[in-house]
């Protein structure tokens, strides 16, 4: 578990701690504090709480008319928690810029999934897994971790399906950690870490479930 003296809130890049482990108890306590692990193979575990913090408002997901037609058109079938291991493995596949989803991370988030804290959204074309994403849910927080696609729009369809579900369930906060060109196009914006932590406190205390 985290101790206050382990956390350095003054790193300009948002890194707050080094080391520790990825046991479920530490991971869950970290997310409740607005902290997440992000590091590469061969490095110690690095823990982050960036300022500003990126979120996508639950009512702010940008869905183009074309994407809405694709989502409603029946080309893809969407499920939850039917292929978590395949989704996280697909997210970890080496890209040109490399990956931060190490074997250690896969094992850790698979344990969270087995405990009911990590969830996957799958997108299927016929019987083939063509897209998806995974993340961690605590109360009314969903922390999106990574996504992948093997067909055009498949990861975007996963986002639309997930956001529909989260809104119906009463979730309050979708954390996307950092902005990227892709998440910006989907509606991601940055807020000060202080504001994020206030929203986070309300979200994790919400009596909702995935």
- Residue 26: give the domain boundaries: 4-48
CATH of the domain at 25: 3.30.70.3550
Are 120 and 182 within one domain? yes
Q: Does 44 lie in the same domain as 60?
A: no
The answer to whether residue 210 sits within a structural domain is no
- 77 with 30, same domain: the answer is no
CA 113 to chain centre: 13
The answer, yes or no, to whether residue 3 has pLDDT greater than 60, is: no
The DSSP-derived string for the chain is: ---GGG--TT-TTSEEEE-----HHHHHHHHHTT-EE---TTSPPEEE--SSEEE--TT-----HHHHHHHHTTSSEEEESSSHHHHHHHHHS--TT--S--HHHHHHHHHHHHTT-EEEEEEEETTEEEEEEEEEEETTEEEEEEEEESSTTHHHHHHHHHHHHHHHHT--EEEEES--HHHHHTT-EEE-HHHHHHHHHHHHTS----
On whether both 142 and 112 belong to a single domain, the answer is yes
Kindly state whether residues 90 and 11 are assigned to the same domain. no
Separation of alpha carbons 11 and 153, rounded Å? 37
- pLDDT-based confidence at residue 9 (cuts at 50, 70, 90): low
One domain for residues 100 and 185: yes
| Domain contains 165 | yes
Q: Are residues 115 and 17 in the same domain?
A: no
In the chain, how many domains are there?
2
- Judge whether 89 lies within some domain: yes
Asked whether residue 75 is domain-assigned, the answer is yes
Task: Give a yes or no: residue 67 inside a domain.
Answer: yes
One domain for residues 37 and 114: no
For residue 73, tell me if it sits in a domain.
yes
Q: What is the tens place of the pLDDT at every residue in 136-165?
A: 999 999 999 999 999 999 999 999 999 999
CATH classification of the domain holding 124:
3.40.630.70
Range 103-120 average pLDDT: 97
- Whether 95 and 25 share a structural domain: no
> Is 209 among the domain residues?
no
Q: How confident is the model at residue 10 (pLDDT cuts 50, 70, 90)?
A: low
Q: Using alpha carbons, select from 77, 60, 56, 94 the residue that is nearest to residue 151.
A: 77
Q: What is the pLDDT of residues 158-198, one digit of tens each?
A: 999 999 999 999 999 999 999 989 899 999 999 999 999 99
Quick check: 23 and 117 in contact, CB under 8 A? no
Task: Check whether residue 113 and residue 177 sit in a common domain.
Answer: yes
Q: Examine residue 14 and state whether it is found in any structural domain, yes or no.
A: yes
Angle at 61 between CA 111 and CA 13, to 5 degrees: 60
pLDDT confidence bin for 41, thresholds 50/70/90: confident
Global pTM? 0.93
Same domain, yes or no, for 69 and 172? yes
User: For residue range 43-68, what is the model confidence (pLDDT) as tens digits?
Assistant: 999 999 999 999 999 999 999 999 99
User: CA nearest 188: which of 62, 92, 52?
Assistant: 62
- What percent of the chain has a predicted confidence (pLDDT) above 90? 86
Q: Could you tell me if 122 and 88 lie in one domain?
A: yes
Quick one: pLDDT at residue 52? 96
């Amino acid at each position: 578990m985290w101790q206050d003296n382990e956390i350095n809130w003054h790193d300009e890049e948002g890194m707050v701690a080094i080391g520790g482990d990825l046991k479920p108890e530490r991971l869950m306590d970290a997310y409740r504090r607005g902290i997440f692990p992000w590091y590469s193979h061969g490095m110690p575990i690095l823990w982050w709480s960036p300022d500003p913090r990126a979120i996508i408002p639950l009512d702010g997901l940008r869905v183009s008319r074309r994407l809405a037609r694709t989502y409603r058109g029946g080309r893809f079938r969407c499920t939850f928690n039917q292929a978590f291991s395949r989704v996280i493995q697909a997210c970890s596949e080496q890209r040109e810029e490399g990956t931060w989803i190490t074997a250690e991370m896969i094992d850790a988030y698979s344990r969270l999934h087995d405990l009911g804290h990590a969830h996957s959204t799958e997108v299927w074309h016929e019987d083939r897994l063509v897209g998806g994403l995974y993340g961690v849910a605590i109360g009314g927080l969903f922390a999106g971790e990574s996504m992948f696609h093997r067909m055009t729009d498949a990861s975007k369809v996963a986002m639309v399906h997930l956001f529909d579900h989260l809104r119906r369930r009463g979730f309050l906060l979708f954390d996307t950690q950092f902005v990227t060109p892709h998440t910006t196009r989907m509606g991601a914006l940055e807020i000060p870490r202080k504001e994020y932590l206030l929203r986070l406190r309300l979200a994790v205390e919400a009596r909702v479930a995935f």
